[in-house]
Structure 1
Amino acid sequence: MTPETFPQMLKGRRNDRGWSQQRLADALCQDSGRATVTRQEVYRWEAGRRVPKFWLPHIANVLGVTREALERAITESCVPQPPTLAELLPGERPVAELSATHRRRVGQSTAERLSARVHALRLADDVLAGHDLVGPAFRELDSAVTLLRESTQTEEVGTALRVAVGELAQIAGWIASDAGRHDQAERTYRLGLSAAREAGDATLAGQLAGSLAYQWSNTHRESDGVELAEAALTEAGDEAPPRARALFWDRVAWAHTKTGNARSAMRALGEAAEALSRHGGEDEPTWLYWVDAGELQVMEARSFTELRRPLRAVPLLNDVLSRYDATHAREMALYLSWLAVAYADANEPEQAANVARRMLDMSTDLGSDRTAERAQVVRMSLEPFRDVPEVREILSAA
């Protein structure tokens, strides 16, 4: 008799209980205490596209089968290939499809001016929040797409224009996401991905897909975020500049963190540090200017905080904040929010309250949905300590 594969065993035990895929997903969420399994994820397991690791003991619990039996079934299964970026993000509208009858010819200087405007928008995003920039960002993007579709150019200039549109779509999508416009951000990332692919820029394609993966990880699509972050890293390839690889590994780490997979998150953080260590004078896109050891340290600290390891997170965050540029108010407020939560998890409510006060004061009227959401998380982390005077003062004011 042929041994059962894992997809066969999972589907068979689920059907034995008369459960739908959604019912199994709900049972796994309840057993684990993590609301991160979706019906779509169960479908992927049963289709042999993914193999669960973190979820194996919970699958064993809810289906009444031993973990050893599940692991034996996995060894009988074909090793699934990770989905490609094209499979995960099908149907982007190619920029090349945008056409017009009357065209004007543009040259390299036009592409260079557009690239400079994109970088200026990035620098503005360092000090301004999403609600302040979303209007100007999308006016710039609309103008760039119009320029591309209503002009003629040499192949070299056309490639440069597509790269600029892709880079502009990435920063505009990031700004839209910061403003809480997640659907608009996703559409924009997909448009940029199309432009990057037409330009043959795999590193930029990885940046756009990784940005969307990061959004998914933060908007209750954690499993999808893992798949897309890993696919973005694969599409960028080993030829991507070291700082780009470090950034993409950082996003993989965060995606695994959001699913509670500590081992995979720590491995990805190690890969990010290794990639960054190889940086040294190579040609690279200008959008990598902000990726450095400090940013990797922030991601490491955030991961430790999310995974409830405050003793690892607190010193890292304090070190970063001691030398961070105070003009970057949004990022500083976000980092303070992680520090406040880490202090609360470490059972240091007075310290948590002091940091929370700084964070809440700094984030007032910032115009960022991300800081608003983090402020709510900070308040929730303080609730168990309401009897502490410093905490009560902050919660009462809120």
Structure 2
Amino acid sequence: MASSRAVPNHAFRRLRAQRSPAEFAAAVRRAAREIGEHVACDARYVGRVEAGEIRCPNYAYERVFLHMFPGLTLKDLGFSAREEVRGRAARIMAEPPPLPPPPPSLPLPPAPVSDTSTAGAIRDTSETSDTNEESDVLRRAFMTSGPVTVMAASLGLGGAPAAAVPAPRRVGETEVAAVEEAVRRIRLLDDRHGADGLYRQATRPLRVAYALLDAGATTRQTTADRLHSGAGELSISVGWLAHDSGRFEDARSHYAEALATARVAADPALEAHAFCNMSFLARDSGRCREAVRAAQAGARAAAQLASPRLLSLLALREAGGWAGLGDRTNCERALSLAHGFFERGPSDADPEWMSFFGEPELESQEALCHEALGDWARAARHAYRATVLQDPHFARNLALYRAELSTDLARAGSPDAAAVAGHQVLDLLDGVQSSRIHTRLATTARVLLPQRRLPEVSAFLDRHAATNAGT
């Protein structure tokens, strides 16, 4: 069983040499400016790296460190490979032994084909998808029904629809791995491009996954457990795409399906995830009391796991519900709880889907709470921190945080600064499609309209209007 205990990074400590953590952090910030990066490095961050709490730096820090120490790799710096960190399982389990070859009567998964084939292009990246997140080939393949191609090919279904899954059919490692890979690819593409262009395509592999569950012909219990977990996580991922693109009823249905799968499989990690997303959706839908109850239910499920970060996120969800109800006391209590859990640091038991949850998201969620309570200046401070801390590789989140900042600044009485933040969001919209972000920008524009006489505000409003006219 893996340990949640961090392993000190002695290699990184040696590179710091005689400099204090604060002096080394200053050197990191200087190096970042030399290559046009912005990192909020301080002595605390350096200490976390040396203590082994940060197993792999984000992309901005990676570029800075490799600039500071030319010729060295992340491994030389004492870090783990990114695919190892982002690919760790949501819970610790022994891998089942390899399945024997299927009998000749069952279709074998097709061998990888040439690079000119869409399906082959994706299959060839199956072991390195986390290190090829910016691949245009992968994105084009997904957007042209790539997930369906991958799932169908991997499951031996050719181009058949989900209803054509043969029963009984033995479900083994190949099928389960295809479901898990579909979840990872959806998350990676959402990180980069937002939900609007992905939702319809992603529902099709989801139907295939649940058809496999219905077939029920698994060869061992560990395979059945992984299939239930994978199908549930896929349902949540598709639900999130619906949620982020404004299809709230679709999202509610997908989250409920995931929760039912978790209950059937007695899977507390999946149950906690489903409740977490249900709470967020309820808050966005104006059902704030339900948001509180769902977050509390998720915390009860998460108590069976060893993940303080998951408990932190669920406390943030609860805080959002209390804020929506106008209950400042309970909101502040939940926020304090969230910070307490977050400060305990990461754990090997942290679910894979929580790779997005770091300090930027913590700041963003706290900003949303202060927004709901009408404290716009305080919300703007937290939203600004989220934009500064966010790795620019995750374009969707960066655009969202800046959109939140623009609204908060506009309502806090800083129209010029709000317009600047709005322009920064518009700069990112060519590659990001999220109804949530567009709604945010529309709110900013509406709030700024009375200040149109200001040049910066006028320029933003004109550009925002032109962008909307062109979509």
TM-score for both structures, normalised by structure 2:
0.59
Paired position in structure 1 for 2:344: 278
In the alignment, the residues of structure 1 paired with residue 439 and residue 458 of structure 2 have an alpha-carbon distance, to the nearest angstrom, of: 20
Residue type matched to 1:251 in 2? R
In the alignment, the residues of structure 2 paired with residue 250 and residue 209 of structure 1 have an alpha-carbon distance, to the nearest angstrom, of: 13
In the alignment, the residues of structure 2 paired with residue 284 and residue 394 of structure 1 have an alpha-carbon distance, to the nearest angstrom, of: 41
Alignment of 1:1-398 (within 5 A): 102-153=167-218, 154-237=220-303, 239=305, 241-363=307-429, 366-397=432-463, 398=465
Question: Residues 239 and 255 of structure 2 are in contact (CA less than 8 Å); yes or no, is this contact kept in structure 1?
Answer: yes
Question: Residues 203 and 244 of structure 1 are in contact (CA less than 8 Å); yes or no, is this contact kept in structure 2?
Answer: no
**Is the deviation greater in 100-109 or in 292-301?**
100-109
In the alignment, the residues of structure 1 paired with residue 298 and residue 346 of structure 2 have an alpha-carbon distance, to the nearest angstrom, of: 23
In the alignment, the residues of structure 1 paired with residue 442 and residue 326 of structure 2 have an alpha-carbon distance, to the nearest angstrom, of: 21
Question: Residues 207 and 248 of structure 1 are in contact (CA less than 8 Å); yes or no, is this contact kept in structure 2?
Answer: no
How has the CA–CA distance of structure 1 residues 364 and 266 changed in structure 2, closer, same or farther, with 3 Å as cutoff?
farther
How has the CA–CA distance of structure 1 residues 386 and 131 changed in structure 2, closer, same or farther, with 3 Å as cutoff?
same
The CA deviation at 1:189 is: 0.8
Question: Residues 305 and 338 of structure 1 are in contact (CA less than 8 Å); yes or no, is this contact kept in structure 2?
Answer: no
Residue type matched to 2:170 in 1? R
The CA deviation at 1:303 is: 2.1
Number of residue equivalences: 301
How has the CA–CA distance of structure 1 residues 240 and 330 changed in structure 2, closer, same or farther, with 3 Å as cutoff?
same
The CA deviation at 1:296 is: 1.0
Residue type matched to 1:182 in 2? F
Paired position in structure 2 for 1:55: none
1:242-270 deviations in Å (ceiling 9; x for gaps): 12111111111122222222222221121
The CA deviation at 1:208 is: 0.9
Question: Residues 359 and 386 of structure 2 are in contact (CA less than 8 Å); yes or no, is this contact kept in structure 1?
Answer: no
Structure 1 unaligned residues grouped into runs of 5+: 1-97
Secondary structure of the structure 2 residue equivalent to 1:103: coil
**Is the deviation greater in 349-358 or in 227-236?**
227-236
Residue type matched to 1:139 in 2? R
Question: Residues 241 and 279 of structure 1 are in contact (CA less than 8 Å); yes or no, is this contact kept in structure 2?
Answer: no
How has the CA–CA distance of structure 1 residues 281 and 391 changed in structure 2, closer, same or farther, with 3 Å as cutoff?
closer
Secondary structure of the structure 2 residue equivalent to 1:149: helix
How has the CA–CA distance of structure 1 residues 202 and 167 changed in structure 2, closer, same or farther, with 3 Å as cutoff?
same
Question: Residues 202 and 238 of structure 2 are in contact (CA less than 8 Å); yes or no, is this contact kept in structure 1?
Answer: yes
Question: Residues 130 and 178 of structure 1 are in contact (CA less than 8 Å); yes or no, is this contact kept in structure 2?
Answer: yes
Secondary structure of the structure 2 residue equivalent to 1:131: coil
Secondary structure of the structure 2 residue equivalent to 1:380: helix
Question: Residues 305 and 341 of structure 1 are in contact (CA less than 8 Å); yes or no, is this contact kept in structure 2?
Answer: no
TM-score for both structures, normalised by structure 1:
0.69
Residue type matched to 1:116 in 2? E
How has the CA–CA distance of structure 1 residues 265 and 364 changed in structure 2, closer, same or farther, with 3 Å as cutoff?
farther
1:287-328 deviations in Å (ceiling 9; x for gaps): 122222332122122322333334433333333322423343
Percent identical pairs in the alignment equals 28
The CA deviation at 1:232 is: 2.4
Paired position in structure 1 for 2:49: none
In the alignment, the residues of structure 1 paired with residue 430 and residue 348 of structure 2 have an alpha-carbon distance, to the nearest angstrom, of: 40
Question: Residues 130 and 179 of structure 1 are in contact (CA less than 8 Å); yes or no, is this contact kept in structure 2?
Answer: yes
Question: Residues 239 and 252 of structure 2 are in contact (CA less than 8 Å); yes or no, is this contact kept in structure 1?
Answer: yes
The CA deviation at 1:192 is: 0.9
In the alignment, the residues of structure 2 paired with residue 344 and residue 131 of structure 1 have an alpha-carbon distance, to the nearest angstrom, of: 26
Secondary structure of the structure 1 residue equivalent to 2:196: helix
The CA deviation at 1:219 is: 1.7
Residue type matched to 1:244 in 2? L
Structure 2 unaligned residues grouped into runs of 5+: 1-162, 466-471
Residue type matched to 1:106 in 2? V
How has the CA–CA distance of structure 1 residues 395 and 101 changed in structure 2, closer, same or farther, with 3 Å as cutoff?
closer
How has the CA–CA distance of structure 1 residues 385 and 213 changed in structure 2, closer, same or farther, with 3 Å as cutoff?
same
**Is the deviation greater in 104-113 or in 259-268?**
104-113
Higher share of residues assigned helix: 1
